[in-house]
Amino acid sequence: MSKDYYKILGVAKSASSDEIRAAFRKQAHQHHPDKQGGNTEKFKEANEAFQVLSDPQKRAQYDQFGSTFDQAGMGGGAGAGGFSGFGGGAQGFDFSDLGDIFGGFGDIFGGGGRGGARRAARGTDIQVDLQIDLKEAVFGTEKTFKLYKDSACDVCGGNGVEPGSKMHKCKECGGKGQVQQVQRTVFGAFQSMADCPICEGNGEVPEKKCKQCGGRGIIKKQDEITVKIPAGIDDGESIRLTSRGEAGPKGSRAGDLYLRVRVKKDSRFRRENFDLYTKKNISFTEAALGATVEVESLDGLLKMVIPEGVQSGQLIRLKSKGVTHLRDSSRGDLYIEVIVTTPTKLSKKQRELLKELGV
Ligand SMILES: [Zn+2]
Ligand SMILES: [Zn+2]
């Protein structure tokens, strides 16, 4: 489901940044779409892997949450339309990805700094798996967890300027925020405009950088996040928390946090859409004569009427004891599969009675 970036680049989990870079270089040469036999998909995949593994922060996040840092796979709440908490998520391939591809590419062949890639001024999205049990999925719940991530610096409020410090025009770019640069690649030389490396595109620089964050506007810290999980959510569906991802550079918008819900397998109940299924053993006599028995449900013990002559494997429905629908809070049903147990040890008298019955 999610991608293994290490596998994509063909490196070990312990690979050094040099090894990762070398592996990416190889892949990019091999798959570059402008080359004969190039493969755009593979090139994009390698680039995506490199973007994550070459960035120590992104790599740490990816390592921490296993292979779930999967932006392309975040389909999220498919089938859960109408519920506003579901982002439907994936932004797939947007312009900033494109910028990254050429950034990475320029980085290889140009050897010239950051290759002029203009990063979208927005924090990175994070995806985290959140495990809940079936009962929590059926009735909804609230979860609190801790997440170590980039947050806006609380001293400067994210702009990287020491409080009280004045801003003045950047000398490097004359306040334009952009500088011209020439890149030499195997396809020739390109002139391009890039963000000024001194003011990072702002056109002005602070007299004093914020001491707390060194002017980055971002600090790593642990954030406590509380999320309401709606009743009826299913395994694999995602909840998007807008602007709860990594803080954006220089106080720009934070990324989003996607919580992918994983519902633990339950030993007694199986979910199918909004219905639940379970099994109940009954005796031979109860099956033949009918009975009222107690069955376990997520609502506690319930009474169930077994009709006379029920067959093993037959389903009995208990209405509205299934999973809550996201839209209108009505509930699916609980189906109980009746298992008739044949007695294995009979007393002499029981044996004779059964023989006499002859059915
Ligand atoms: Zn700061
Ligand atoms: Zn500048």
Q: What residue type is assigned to position 35 of the chain?
A: K
Q: What is the DSSP letter of 249?
A: G
In a domain, 48, yes or no: no
* Ligand 2 ion: residues within 5 Å (CB): 170, 172-173, 196, 198-199
Query: 93 pLDDT band (50/70/90 cuts)?
Result: very low
Q: List the one residue out of 85, 55, 89, 53 whose CA is nearest residue 72.
A: 89
- Confirm whether 37 is domain-assigned: no
What percentage of the chain carries pLDDT values higher than 70?
Answer: 83
Give pLDDT tens digits for 58-75: 787 777 665 444 333 333
141 occurs within a structural domain:
no
* Confidence (pLDDT) at 64: 67
Distance from the CA of 247 to the center of ligand 1, in angstroms? 12
Number of the ligand closest to the Cα of 197: 2
Mean pLDDT over 186-211 rounds to 86
**Contact (CB, 8 A) for 48 and 59:** no
Ligand 2 center from residue 195 Cα (angstroms): 8
The pTM of this model reads 0.57
Instruction: Tell me what the mean pLDDT of segment 200-217 comes to.
Output: 88
SS3 of 303, please? strand
pLDDT tens by residue, 37-49: 788 888 888 888 8
Last residue of a domain, one of 182, 207, 232: 207
How many angstroms is it from 227 CA to the middle of ligand 1? Answer: 28
pLDDT digit string (tens) for 6-18?
A: 888 999 888 888 8
How many angstroms separate the alpha carbon of residue 181 from the centre of ligand 2?
A: 13
Residues 201 and 278 in one domain: no
The CATH number assigned to the domain holding 305 equals: 2.60.260.20
**Domain assignment of residue 29, yes or no:** no
Residues 148, 222: contact at Cβ < 8 Å? yes
| Cβ neighbours for 18, distance < 8 A, ≥ 6 positions apart | none
Residues 126-147 have a mean pLDDT of: 94
- Ligand 1 mean position, distance from CA 147 (Å): 20
Distance, in Å, from the CA atom of 243 to the CA atom of 84, rounded to the nearest integer, reads: 15
Nearest bound ligand to the CA of residue 200: 2
Please give the Cα distance from 231 to 299 (Å, whole number): 14
Structure tokens at 311: 């067959």
Residue 220 within any structural domain of the chain: no
Question: Does residue 321 lie in a domain region?
Answer: yes
Instruction: State whether 203 and 278 are in the same domain.
Output: no
Ligand nearest to the CA of 212: 1
- CA 205 to ligand 2 centroid distance, Å: 7
- Among 153, 179, 207, the domain boundary falls at 207
The verdict on residue 303 lying in a domain is yes
- The backbone torsions φ and ψ at residue 27, rounded to the nearest 5 degrees and listed phi first, read -65, -40
Range of the domain at 310: 270-357
Report how many domains make up the chain.
2
- Residue 179 CA: which ligand is closest? 2
CB of 77 closer than 8 Å to CB of 237: yes
219 phi and psi, to 5 degrees? Answer: -130, 150
